[in-house]
Amino acid sequence: MPQFEISDLITVTDPRSLRRAPVRRDDVLRTLAEAGNRRAARIVGTLPVDGDGVLDPAAVDRLLIGVHTELQRLSEEMRIGERVLHLLGPLLEAIRETAEPGARLRLVDIGCGLGYLVRRLAATRALGPGVELIGVDLDAALAGEAARLAQAEGLDCRFVHANAFDLPEAATVYVSTGVLHHFRGPALAEFLQAQAASSAVAFCHFDIAATPITPLGAWVFHRARMRHPLGRHDGVASARRAHSDETLLHAADIPGIRPLVYEPRGLANPFCTTLRPLLGIRPHLEEPFRRAMGRASRRLVGPERFAA
């Protein structure tokens, strides 16, 4: 049975035109019924519709902003900012070492949601000077709320309602948190290939680590820390959809890209590892990146670790 996240079904944006499509509640309910997901159907059944049975877009936006606000709290508790920085710091050191002196770097967070990561990097200025910070999301309400928060916090970063691959300026590094599991089947490799085909020199995507205890851990954590039933449902559904280390490394095995996973299964304590990153770096960066990581670079592994 396919696993669905409710948030993927109740708001649909065309990635080319950025236009939002009307979503009929009955269509979502049919999809969930076919997947045998009665709990999700009960949650969707409570959402308001207009006279034609179309979900009220303003109510959906309010709901998703509320759920993402709760998600931000989880990101704070799981110290996502620090974990990302643990890798991005040395990665940018390696990029600066190999780039033209004084080159401006651009970091693009794909599917930034409320922009927690970019706002955190901007607030701490942890990546140093000369790094432009941009968050991008296909969802207009989330990108708009991220921009509003950044302005209220007086931060030097930007949020754009766009398809990350249609930006006028290319990224130096693409990042994301909690996005990879949304790409199923061939879409995962296509997502990574689009970045490999750009002038970016690296990507670093943090997503839920697939371990035997991930769904149970996600259930306990989301039950304890999230109030909205949609957030609780989608938290567990996303853990069930988490990609294995092997799947990620295989999808990122692209000419001109060295794929690496940090703290893969077997090298990390499954009780502590919630999100772990897939990296793809241009091959010339591997040596300076490992050097900048120091002893921790032993936890960076490529597909060879899983070869039979």
Ligand X SMILES: C[S@@+](CC[C@H](N)C(=O)[O-])C[C@H]1O[C@@H](n2cnc3c(N)ncnc32)[C@H](O)[C@@H]1O
Give the span between the Cα atoms of 189 and 251, in whole angstroms.
5
110 binding ligand X? (CB under 6 A): yes
Give the nearer residue to ligand X in terms of CB position, either 111 or 215: 111
Which residue's beta carbon is nearest to the bound ligand X?
A: 111
Give the span between the Cα atoms of 197 and 17, in whole angstroms.
22
What angle (nearest 5°) sits at the alpha carbon of residue 264, between those of residues 258 and 269?
A: 160
133-162 mask for ligand X (x: CB under 6 A)? ---xxxx--x--------------------
At position 68, the amino acid (one-letter code) is: H
Give the nearer residue to ligand X in terms of CB position, either 174 or 289: 174
What angle (nearest 5°) sits at the alpha carbon of residue 79, between those of residues 76 and 82?
A: 125
Give the nearer residue to ligand X in terms of CB position, either 5 or 292: 5
Give the nearer residue to ligand X in terms of CB position, either 112 or 155: 112
Least distance in angstroms from the C-beta of 102 to ligand X: 29
Tell which positions 66-85 bind ligand X, by CB under 6 A: 68, 71, 75
**What tokens were used for 85?**
């920085």
Of 195, 135, 199, the C-alpha closest to 165 is 195
Give the nearer residue to ligand X in terms of CB position, either 61 or 137: 137
**What tokens were used for 32?**
């969930």
- How many residues lie near ligand X (CB under 6 A)? 22
Least distance in angstroms from the C-beta of 74 to ligand X: 9
Report the 3 state secondary structure along 260-300.
Answer: EEECCCCCCCCCCCCEEEEEEECHHHHHHHHHHHHHHHHHE
Among the listed residues 40, 157, 179, 257, the single contact to ligand X using CB under 6 A: 179
- Interface with ligand X by CB under 6 A: which residues? 15, 68, 71, 75, 110-113, 116, 136-139, 142, 163-165, 176-179, 182
